[in-house]
Amino acid sequence: MCGFTAVFSTNQESLNKYPLETITAVITHRGPDDCGYYKSPGVQLGFRRLSIIDLPHGHQPMTYDNGRYTIVFNGEIYNAPELRDRMKKRGATFQTSSDTEVILASFKHEGKKSFTNFRGMFAFLIWDSRTETLTGARDPFGIKPLYMKKDGDAVLFASEKKSLTLFEKKPGINKDVLPAYLTFQYAPEPLTSTSNITKVPPGHIIELKRETGKLTLKPYSQPEFNPTIQEKASAVGKIRRAVEESVEFHLRSDVPVSTFLSGGIDSTAITALVKQMKPDVKAFTAEFADARYSEADTARKTAEVLGLDHHVVTITPEQVVKELPKIIWHMDEPVADPAAIPLYFVAKEAAEHSKVVLSGEGADELFAGYNIYKEPGSLRLFDFLPSGMKKQIHSLALKIPHGVKGRGFLQRGTTPLRERFTGNARIFDPAEVEEYLFETKGASAFDFTAPLYDHAKRKGWDPVTTMQYVDMHTWLRGDILAKADKMTMAHSLELRVPFLDKEVFQVASSLPVSGKVSRKQTKIWLREALADVVPAHVVERKKLGFPVPVRLWLKDELYDWARLILTQSPASDTIFDKGASVRLLEEHVQGKHDHSRKIWTILTYMLWHKQATQSRRTITDASDLKDII
């Protein structure tokens, strides 16, 4: 929807240190339709608007209650009409039909506890001029970002990190996050790859008081699984009703809405339901020139069956090399998921036709859609073996040469879940990290997942539910939603995710393992719930993720480009071991191993590192931005 910035401080000199107009201008792509500023002792707020709801009256920063409250808000509150009626019964008055004013009225009449009533995606800051208190919150799933930076007695906030690094000639590189980055392929929240910048965690409230300068950060809503034994037909019906209602809510807009369509069940289900409610909907698909790495044929068949206005974007390696620096600049962080590439290009095309797009993110985490979730079932026989025997088998497995069939099965089956699963992506094994980094003093991926496993153990969750919980707190936030927000907002396009809805989660979180995954299938009851709206050729289709031909590109079109970066990047021989990195590439080209994801993880970081550390003069006004964009 939008983007905002804010500076809070107990003294005016710190407030004036950061020209508000400039740090807000750098995120114009998030809101090209309008801008606004609010300045008072204690706080300054900047805003860029992408107009979606109440186009004439949704200007921000928005004030309320005779100027007492002022808000900057990024996101959408889909149940705003219902909440508006509720607030009117409490005596609230409204001057607009925007959801922004609903947040303000809710905060005035019900305080911070009102945040749990919001059904949507959001990050916002509210300034109370009477108490001189700044209060902010981020939605429970982390759909919308909120960065924070402390600078002396000032605290800065922004929807994108680039606003907070704008005035630093050489932002600090957070090397402590590198070991975890190599495993996850992203910096795990709340950390970032910049040493003095963090993220406000999802489902948390942040509060700053001008009188004391004290900052508090507390959770207000944390998604929890609660698997129960259920009757199948009833559960399937609840799933269908919840998803349908969520799609209906997510279609609330005063501008055209489209969808992203891949070959998978999630985006297909969303598109099919939207088609029933908005027959003229447009759907957008990305494909690569290599047919082996394209889901477009399946999407085309779906579009034909559903009668969609379908648009397909074809991507070449040359386009990728040209646009990759811009992609990484928009990402703010090194997120080495190649799926960000097609998302960037398809968002660019969709933005030519609409301002809002619906997509299927979140279904895999909520309904157990990843193939790795089948693993506990396939390894169940190891549960009956004595611990001593497991240790012997594990030692034997390690002696079997790599590549020999059965080695991995024996190794996984004799390794505890918390030591083998760090989330949906595991690029470098934590034990490998030392070989590629000069310094490994930071926390490993296991250090970040350990508290999640401890929590799951206290709850008594089964392995599949535990894996979902780990993914929701790592992979979903750090990868899926990060690239979804940044790649769409790069083109001033708002992405909405109907599966990540509080009512949908309430149903999904209660499902037993039998309703989620078996040794042969994932998202079992979700598939049944949507079987009559999703075309048959998609319902039982195996999950592929979004295949990107990085493996082939690094052997051919992108080899010279990749080798040049690995050998000449400023991060070579300062952060990464150049010899080890180049060896990965050469072994990959020779066909000894598929190292494509490892190589891409290093390349992505090196490209980001160059941007983050490039020499820049001090930015003094918005006209200087052309030097860094």
Tokens read off for 442: 């930071």
Q: Rg for the chain (alpha carbons), in Å?
A: 24
3-state secondary structure 488-507: HHCCCCEEECCCCCHHHHHH
Distances (CA, A) of 218 to 215, 222, 560: 10, 11, 49
Tokens read off for 191: 């950390």
**Closest to 31 measured CA to CA, from 539, 489, 395, 574:** 489
What letters, b where the CB count within 10 A reaches 16 and e where it falls short, cover 318-333?
A: eebeebbeebbbbbbb
Give the integer Cα–Cα distance in Å for 186 and 181: 5
Tokens read off for 74: 């990024």
Q: What is the DSSP string of 499-542?
A: TS-HHHHHHHTT--GGGTB-SS-BSHHHHHHTTTTS-HHHHTPP
Could you confirm whether 35 is annotated as catalytic? no
206 residue type, one letter = I
Interacting residues of 575 by C-beta distance below 8 A, sequence separation 6+: 173, 175, 178, 437, 438, 439, 605, 609
Give the integer Cα–Cα distance in Å for 317 and 289: 9
Q: Are 439 and 175 in contact (CB under 8 A)?
A: yes
Distances (CA, A) of 236 to 142, 369, 401: 27, 16, 46
Q: Taking each helix axis from N to C terminus, what angle separates 463-473 and 445-459, rounded to the nearest 10 degrees? A: 130
Q: Which SS3 state, helix, strand or coil, does residue 158 take?
A: strand
Tokens read off for 49: 């608007």
Which entry of 1, 2, 286, 327 is annotated as an active-site residue? Answer: 2
Tokens read off for 411: 């190794």
Cis peptide bond prior to 223, omega within 30° of 0: no
**Closest to 205 measured CA to CA, from 147, 135, 122:** 135
Distances (CA, A) of 231 to 394, 465, 506, 510, 530: 39, 19, 16, 12, 17
Q: Kind of pairing, strands 2-9 and 154-158?
A: antiparallel
Q: Are 534 and 272 in contact (CB under 8 A)?
A: yes
Strands (E), 10-119: 34-40, 43-49, 62-64, 69-77
98 residue type, one letter = S
**Cα-Cα-Cα-Cα dihedral of 257, 260, 263, 267, to 10°?**
-60
Q: Which SS3 state, helix, strand or coil, does residue 116 take?
A: helix
What is the H or E stretch that residue 86 is in?
A: helix 80-89
Give the integer Cα–Cα distance in Å for 197 and 298: 42
Checking phi first, is residue 288 left (phi over 0); if not, alpha (psi -120 to 50) or beta? beta
Q: Kind of pairing, strands 120-128 and 69-77?
A: antiparallel
Can you say how many angstroms the Cα of residue 497 is from the centroid of all Cα atoms in its chain? 11
**Closest to 607 measured CA to CA, from 341, 266, 302:** 341
Q: Which SS3 state, helix, strand or coil, does residue 51 take?
A: coil
Catalytic residues, by residue number, are 2
